[in-house]
Structure 1
Amino acid sequence: MEAGGRRQQEERRRLRELRQEAVEYYRGHRVQQRVEDALNALFPLRPADLYGELANYFSKFSKAPVICRLVGRKVLDGVGQPTLEVEVYCTVKNYEKKICSIVMSSHSQIPENPLSETTEADEKERNDSVNTAVEWVNESLNTMFKNLKPTDQCEVDKMLGEYFSKKVEEKKEIQKQQEEVAEATLTLTSCTPSATALPGEKKTAKPGKKVAVAERRIPPAEPWESVLCGSLAIGGTSLAIAKAAATISHIPLYLHIALLKHDQDSPKEMTLPLPMVTLLNCEKILPAKLKLVKEVMLIPPVQLSLKQGIERVLDIQKEVMRLLEPPGKTTSPQLADSKKGRAHNTGKKALPQALKRISHLGCLITGCDNLEQPLLLMQTACNNLGLELGTDMYLAINCAAHELMDYVKGKYEILTGTFKSPEEMVDIYVELINKFPFIIALIDPLRKEDRQQWSNICYALGSKCYLIAEDAATYISKLKIDQNINIPMCSGVVLKYINQTKVSDLIELTGLLDGQRHITILGSPDRESSDDSLVDLAVGLGARFIKLGGLSRGERVTKYNRLLAIEEELAKNGTLREANLKFIAFAEESQPEKQLSDVPPPPKPEPSPPQLCPPALQVRSLPAQLPANNTLT
């Protein structure tokens, strides 16, 4: 009986527990359902989406991403030469993740007719520089930036600058030791006098023999600044980390650059740089006679969208290619006859020589016999399409005058056998712009050493066209001197992101240029890569123009495509602002400290009636001595 009673009690206890579990289950199910109903009412999302939103919310309180690894790699650029690629890996939510990569461009120029010995030496130097850069990135810089936030660009560039300065001092010390060893060796081997001339020693001229001397004394060329082997690692790491910061912040690189420039104040509107599209590369080697023009570039008017401007440039390029076809395949069209600068048929010299090949700049290569030929070719092509230069399209000329100087004669060789002094060059440009007012930019019309002539040409033409210095701005490290710009007086400069250039350097320098009312042009070097970060830099920095080469070759076209994508994005967001270009009237520079040159301005000329400019430029006709802001629309 006792055993039966205990069994009944155990059954009743088990039954109570089952009832309690059932109640708890039912109660919990109802509570869970009520919670889900409330969350669905507050957040009309699926549970998976809701959990994702909550995860994103709480991730804001997690540790910020930091750099865990840098990888340097040797890759090929657009002309098949070695260059540097930098990859950035960050620790994101405790996982290593590749964020981005960039490919650097080289500083070296591509000569038109190089010697085999020079080419071999350049290739060896380039290989050594890239190999050293890869070593720096994978070893020293990789260790240096570990656990550093990629968003701290100022600290990154400061550390890069200190590292580069250290490498420069090490190089100087090695050179000093080598010079001491060479001097000691020379002392030991020169105990007895020798009749043989030492290397570099000038031989005495024989009596009666004519010695070639300079016809006039000109400022000597500034010494070429040597490039430290491995310097690509500095610029590559700085830009790669900036791109990584933009990626982590989920914003495009151009906006990240703009925030850095404006102290994190997001710009309400942004202006796209106008493209300087290279259409012709006028080779300077025989049988071509013209040496003064290196590039002929097209600049679309600002009232067109970038897409419309590129399409118009492509139409003109196709027409130019048709005009340059060999005789027999096409009939020779009548030359341009426009209101602005009439062109007359001059027979065989009317058009340049036939098209030969595509330049590494992505444009057509042709030879010319005189200065007017490429300009008349542009007029003819535009007129055949129903377009007018000065209204529907503008021209820019890259003179590359530093390549023309004959230091024996002390003059520029503008045509084969035709030499002009620096003073005569100014007169040539004044006559050129007066005859062809649709030319709104001259790049490197003079050597950077001819500062007096830069001043003269700025006072003569500054209110009619842009006078741009490119060769003088090759090395950004030399441009910043005591909050001033160490270049001749000019309208603006072409900046290139090469070697040890850092993102902070560009931001600081463009800020100085903006403060001195001078324009910034971001330029693409000869040895370009397929990386399109240059376009984001130009947009973020607020550059007035961008010089990318022609509309051929993948490494060039990639950048134009990126520019088109940015235009579409800004237009979609409603933040695209139309460009408003103004020429610089240098007569306004009344105070010497505002001038970019240490050369005093020339005496003011006699007051003369204002020259008329094309209606498309919408220039207010003001007396020459009064300030003028000429607006290009």
Structure 2
Amino acid sequence: MMPIIKDIKGREILDSRGNPTVEVDLTLSDGSFGRAAVPSGASTGSHEAVELRDDDKKRYGGKGVLKAVDNVNLVIRKALKGKEFNQRSLDNAMIALDGTENKGKLGANAILGVSLAFSHAAAKSAKKPLYKYFKDISKTSEMRMPVPMMNILNGGKHALNSTDLQEFMIMPVGAPSFKEALRYGAEVFHTLKKILVARGLNTSVGDEGGYAPSLPSNEAAIQIILEAIEKAGYKAGKDIFIAIDAAASELYKDGKYHLATEKRVLSSEEMVQFYAEWVEKYPIISIEDGCAEDDWDGW
């Protein structure tokens, strides 16, 4: 028997950046309760699902989410209350209720809030931890902890005084367990701070908790992270690798990539070559959003 939704309640809260977001409480007929808050990114693609905002400049600079909250409390609640669902049928019901390709009618923030709250409640109803609930509904046979990607140096929209590329991360691939990988990352993070302090560089943090020093180039970020890895007692390319989220759409204007830190303007081909040289030179194993979302020639 599938869970029956007893009630749904949405509200507006503030996220870690101080911006409004949607939080949803959902209760099942057996009393199981789930609560979820919807995350939001500083840099988002134009083709992503729509995060519904109020655009009322008198409240939170137009970033309020009361419209999305109303959609939870008035539209979605009315359609779902008292009915049986599993995770897939719930999500499909809300997608059909929205009726748009980009979830622009109800708002992806309204839909995701309800979906996540339901997953928490359903996991409790099934007496399972959330990760095991998702393992079972996805029919995944093997369960394995992921390698953490730790954002230790911020740039781009996450730190306006730093590098052009948005995130420089470390991945402790060589750690024997998630627990040890977390320790590796924490030790490198604190070692990086000591290096920055010794050089008189800023140790303020960006939007996502990484340091945001003013560096002479994007490559300097790679080099200082490699130094931190070594001084923390690890071997780059064996214990720890580097990953990058370039958020390249934020750099793309008039068909070119503008690297303001280095006063360079690159074509798509030159941007790809820029990465190729780094990958050849440094232990980089992941590049996210390396080209702009509409730069198909670059991809």
Match of 1:85 in 2: 23
- Determine if the alignment matches structure 1 residue 103 to structure 2 residue 40: no
Q: Write the distance in 2 (CA, Å) between the matches of 1:80 and 1:444.
A: 26
Q: Determine if contact 2:135/2:143 at 8 Å carries over to the other structure.
A: no
Aligned residue number for residue 254 of structure 1:
131
Query: CA 1:296/1:162 → structure 2, altered by over 3 Å: closer, same or farther?
Result: same
Matching residue's letter, 2:270 = E
Equivalent residue, structure 2, for 1:404: 251
Residue 81 of structure 2 aligns with an amino acid whose one-letter code is: K
Q: Distance in 2 between matches of 1:400 and 1:162?
A: 31
Q: Which residue of 1 aligns with 2:275?
A: 429
Identity percentage of aligned residues: 27
Alignment: residue pair count: 287
> Equivalents in 2 of 1:104, 1:244: separation in Å?
16
Instruction: Compute the displacement of 1:228 (Å).
Output: 4.2
| Paired position in structure 1 for 2:240 | 393
Secondary structure, in 3 states, of the residue corresponding to 1:452? coil
- Mark the CA change 1:257 to 1:286 in structure 2 (over 3 Å): closer, same or farther: closer
Tell me the equivalent position of 2:225.
378
Q: Which has the higher contact order (CA 8 A, sep 6+)?
A: 1
Say which SS state the counterpart of residue 383 (structure 1) adopts: helix
Structure 1 runs not aligned, ≥5 long: 1-62, 111-117, 170-224, 333-352, 455-633
Separation (CA, whole Å) in 2 of partners of 1:104 and 1:126:
14
Does structure 2 conserve the Cα–Cα contact (< 8 Å) formed by 1:279 and 1:298?
yes
> What is the alpha-carbon distance in structure 2 between the residues aligned to residue 286 and residue 143 of structure 1?
43
Judge conservation of contact 1:72–1:134 (CA < 8 Å) in 2.
yes
CA gap of 1:316–1:244, structure 2 versus 1, over 3 A, is same
1:120, 1:295 → 2: CA distance? 30
Q: Deviations over 1:545-565 (max 9, x none)?
A: xxxxxxxxxxxxxxxxxxxxx
> 2:81 is matched with which residue: 146, 149, 152?
146
Q: Is the contact made by 2:95 and 2:103 (CA closer than 8 Å) also made in structure 1? A: no
Q: Report the counterpart of residue 240 of structure 1 in structure 2.
A: 117
RMSD, matched Cα: 2.9
Structure 2's unaligned 5+ residue stretches are: 45-54
**Structure 1 residues 406 and 64: alpha-carbon distance in aligned structure 2, compared to 1, 3 A threshold:** closer
Q: Which residue of 1 aligns with 2:293?
A: 448
Shift of 1:286: 7.8
Contact 1:87 1:98 in 2 (8 A): no
User: What corresponds to 1:164 in structure 2?
Assistant: 98
Contact 2:43 2:247 in 1 (8 A): no
CA distance in 1, matches of 2:42, 2:233: 40
Following TM superposition, by how much is the alpha carbon of 1:283 offset from its aligned partner in structure 2, in angstroms?
Answer: 4.9
> Does 2:166 correspond to 1:321?
no
- 1:425-444, Cα deviation, whole Å (9 max, x unpaired): 222222211111x1111122
State the SS of the aligned residue for 1:365. Answer: coil
Q: Over residues 106-134 of structure 1, what are the superposed CA-to-partner deviations in whole Å (9 max), with x where a residue is unaligned? A: 35549xxxxxxx9958945431xx21222
Q: Following superposition, which runs of at least 4 residues in structure 1 exceed 6 angstroms of deviation? A: 284-287
- In structure 2, distance between residues paired with 1:245 and 1:226: 24
Question: Residue 450 of structure 1 aligns to which amino acid in structure 2?
Answer: D
SS of aligned partner of 1:359:
coil
Separation in structure 1 between the aligned mates of residue 143 and residue 160 of structure 2, nearest angstrom: 45
In the TM superposition, 1:407-422 aligns within 5 A as 407=254, 410-414=255-259, 415-422=261-268
The alignment's TM-score, normalised by the length of structure 2, stands at: 0.84
Who is 2:63 aligned against?
A: 126
Q: Is the 8 A contact 2:175 2:239 kept in 1?
A: no
* Whole-angstrom distance in 1 between the partners of 2:82 and 2:106: 27
Aligned to 2:148: 275
- Between the aligned partners of 1:277 and 1:120, the Cα distance in structure 2 is 35
Q: CA deviation at 1:273?
A: 1.7
Query: CA offsets per residue over residues 269-299 of structure 1, 9 Å max, x none?
Result: 30112111000013578875x52x2211000
Provide closer, same or farther for how the CA distance between residues 66 and 448 of structure 1 changes in structure 2, counting only shifts above 3 A: closer
Instruction: Tell me the SS of whatever aligns to 1:301.
Output: coil
